[in-house]
């Protein structure tokens, strides 16, 4: 068994070090930043270690090298200690009014700045920010360190309530205005979040705030590189390889396929693994390569809120490459006109893959996220149809053991629930794309246009001991359906779709004919085995 516990679910640096948990040493980068007398901002998705990063800064500035024995910082850091104000705005998400949020924020600020000497007992209310500013201005000769985690959490909690959003934005802007006007009181400022909201003063007024979001030098500041996984988790790699009955290199290859691929820097040359997913897999490898990030952090409030008043782009293009300018990624945005692809990058559903001038090509970082994106699209397609969602959840069982008639019936139920005004099905490509997304959203391992020596199949899905191969035809009128069915069956037989698979699963092949006029599969037939 591995001798060191995993740092799973803990984001306090001193606690991890005291308990001897595995700590992936990023302190050479931490010190490089901490040596600068600057104010920084970093945007990263949930569950990527932003809170642990801020806790590491807090420990370094507050306690010096007390908890850094054996780490890179031990031979680098030479500065003195400072009072530290560490604020977590994720706790400011439950409020019912302007007054309640104001009170919560003031209490949180009083708790953060109080240990440094700020006495808020007599200044709660309208005079709070003024008093905080005056107190900060008196600290010019004894500066403090300010760390703010999840600055955008209070905003995302009310993103679909325009009046409340503007109120919260205005209140937060007062605080950030204080930070700007009293900037000489701070030795170091570091702010994290997911989304760059326009008009919150953090970006519109703090013009000396350095945005590290796409900085090449700090592209690996959070997340794990492959080298770090090999270096810090050798015992876990060995144990998991034994459980999975594969070699260590095969295990690492699967880890990369499922959890690697996130790029957070403008040259698109560095990539990292999602630490939450890697740690959960190491903790319980018997669960396999589950979708840990999506289930825990991959449904951020800002994205879910966005989807209540917006729609994702056509699911037909779910896995197609996308492009975005560097200006769109770095600029702050108003919620009303937020660019979808920028939001998907910020929340971790898309990542940078390559760059041509000031244009980035975007793709899903890995298999886990591609599946998570399909789930989002599937939910979007079946929006407001809870009964269909419930029935479609049974698809894996039906597709493994059922007959083609049962499978087609469930497909038709799903297609009947799709809003045809928003998502029309006009041809075979769109029909295949929607079915692909729906199958992925039901947690089935699905592939499109699989090539073989004799041709390419439309859609293949694996579940349990069965591999289904579907050949899809689209017809405009029912009179064309019988001939289309015959053609599909003939193609499958002559081209032996799925026969080049190395899997030991039972291969089942079926032809499906979608009638555009009736908006359903009207003819379907399974090819006899053998």
| 84 three-state secondary structure | strand
Point out which residues pair with 511 in neighbouring strands. Answer: 471, 525
Average pLDDT for residues 332-355, to the nearest whole number?
A: 84
| 375 three-state secondary structure | helix
- Residue 380 pLDDT level (bands cut at 50, 70, 90): confident
Average pLDDT for residues 117-126, to the nearest whole number?
A: 88
Closest C-alpha to 323, from 343, 347, 341, 344: 341
Q: What is the pLDDT of residues 193-207, one digit of tens each?
A: 988 876 555 666 566
Highest mean pLDDT among 153-157, 224-228, 310-314, 385-389: 224-228
CA distance 463 to 244: 19
For residue 3, what pLDDT is reported?
A: 82
9 Ramachandran zone, left/alpha/beta (phi>0; psi -120 to 50):
left
Instruction: Calculate the alpha carbon distances from 234 to 64, 69, 251 in Å.
Output: 30, 21, 12
For residue 215, what pLDDT is reported?
A: 96
- As a whole-number percent, the residues of the chain with pLDDT over 90 amount to 57
- Residue 232 pLDDT level (bands cut at 50, 70, 90): very high
Average pLDDT for residues 347-360, to the nearest whole number?
A: 94
For residue 200, what pLDDT is reported?
A: 57
| 403 three-state secondary structure | coil
Instruction: Calculate the alpha carbon distances from 269 to 152, 165, 262, 354 in Å.
Output: 29, 38, 11, 8
Contact 415, 434 (CB under 8 A): yes
Q: Domains of the chain (ranges plus CATH)? A: 13-218 (3.40.50), 384-526 (3.40.1350)
Which residue has better confidence, 46 or 452?
Answer: 46
For residue 415, what pLDDT is reported?
A: 92
Location of structure tokens 């053609």: 487
Contact 306, 338 (CB under 8 A): yes
CA distance 452 to 399: 23
For residue 2, what pLDDT is reported?
A: 82
For residue 335, what pLDDT is reported?
A: 62
CA distance 336 to 199: 12
Average pLDDT for residues 301-318, to the nearest whole number?
A: 71
Point out which residues pair with 509 in neighbouring strands. Answer: 469
For residue 206, what pLDDT is reported?
A: 63
Q: What is the pLDDT of residues 433-484, one digit of tens each?
A: 899 988 888 878 888 766 554 567 878 888 888 889 999 999 999 999 999 9
| 452 three-state secondary structure | coil
- As a whole-number percent, the residues of the chain with pLDDT over 70 amount to 92
CA distance 296 to 49: 13
Give me the half-sphere count of Cα atoms (radius 13 Å) on the Cβ side of residue 416: 14
CA distance 132 to 130: 5
């Amino acid at each position: 068994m591995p001798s060191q516990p995993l740092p799973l679910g803990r984001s306090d640096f001193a606690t991890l070090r005291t308990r001897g948990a595995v700590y992936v040493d990023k302190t050479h980068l931490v010190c490089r930043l901490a040596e600068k007398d600057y104010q920084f901002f970093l945007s990263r998705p949930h569950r990527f270690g932003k809170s642990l990063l801020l806790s590491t800064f807090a420990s370094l500035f507050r306690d010096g090298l007390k908890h850094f024995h054996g780490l890179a910082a031990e031979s680098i850091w030479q500065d003195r200690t400072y009072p530290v104000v560490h604020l977590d705005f994720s706790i400011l998400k439950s409020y019912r009014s302007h007054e309640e949020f104001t009170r919560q924020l003031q209490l949180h600020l009083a708790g953060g700045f109080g240990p440094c000497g700020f006495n808020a007992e007599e200044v709660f209310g309208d005079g709070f920010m003024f008093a905080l500013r005056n107190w900060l201005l008196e600290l010019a000769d004894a500066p403090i360190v300010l760390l703010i985690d999840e600055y955008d959490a209070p905003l995302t909690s009310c993103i679909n309530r325009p009046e409340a959003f503007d109120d919260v934005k205005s209140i937060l802007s007062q605080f950030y205005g204080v930070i700007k006007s009293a900037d000489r009181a701070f030795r170091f400022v570091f702010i994290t979040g997911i989304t760059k909201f326009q008009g919150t003063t953090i970006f519109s007024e703090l013009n000396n705030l350095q945005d590290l979001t796409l900085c090449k030098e700090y592209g690996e500041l959070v997340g794990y590189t492959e080298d770090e996984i090999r270096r810090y988790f050798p015992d876990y790699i060995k144990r998991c390889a034994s459980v999975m009955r594969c070699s260590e290199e095969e295990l690492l290859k699967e880890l990369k396929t499922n959890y690697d691929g996130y790029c957070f820097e403008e040259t698109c040359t560095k990539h990292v693994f999602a630490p939450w997913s890697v740690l959960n897999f190491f903790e319980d490898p018997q669960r396999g390569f589950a979708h840990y990030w999506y289930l825990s952090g991959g449904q951020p409030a800002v994205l879910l809120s966005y989807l209540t008043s917006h729609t994702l782009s056509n699911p037909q293009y779910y896995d197609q490459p996308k492009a975005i300018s560097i200006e769109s990624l770095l600029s702050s945005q108003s919620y009303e006109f937020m660019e979808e692809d920028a939001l998907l990058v910020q929340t971790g559903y898309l990542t940078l893959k390559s760059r041509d001038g000031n244009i980035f090509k975007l793709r899903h970082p890995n298999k886990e996220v591609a599946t998570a994106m399909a789930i989002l699209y599937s939910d979007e397609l079946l929006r407001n149809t809870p009964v269909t969602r419930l029935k479609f959840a049974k698809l894996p069982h039906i597709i493994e053991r059922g007959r083609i008639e049962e499978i087609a019936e469930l497909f038709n139920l799903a297609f009947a629930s799709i809003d045809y005004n928003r998502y029309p099905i006009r041809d075979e490509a769109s029909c295949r794309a929607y079915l692909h997304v729906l199958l992925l959203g039901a947690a089935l391992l699905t592939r499109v246009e699989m090539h073989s020596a004799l041709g390419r199949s439309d859609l293949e899905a694996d579940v349990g001991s069965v591999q289904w191969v579907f050949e899809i035809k689209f017809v405009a009128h029912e009179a064309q359906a019988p001939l289309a069915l015959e053609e599909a069956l003939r193609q499958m037989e002559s081209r032996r779709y799925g026969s080049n698979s190395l899997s030991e699963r039972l291969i089942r092949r079926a032809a499906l004919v979608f009638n555009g006029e009736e908006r359903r599969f009207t003819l379907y037939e399974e090819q006899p085995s053998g």
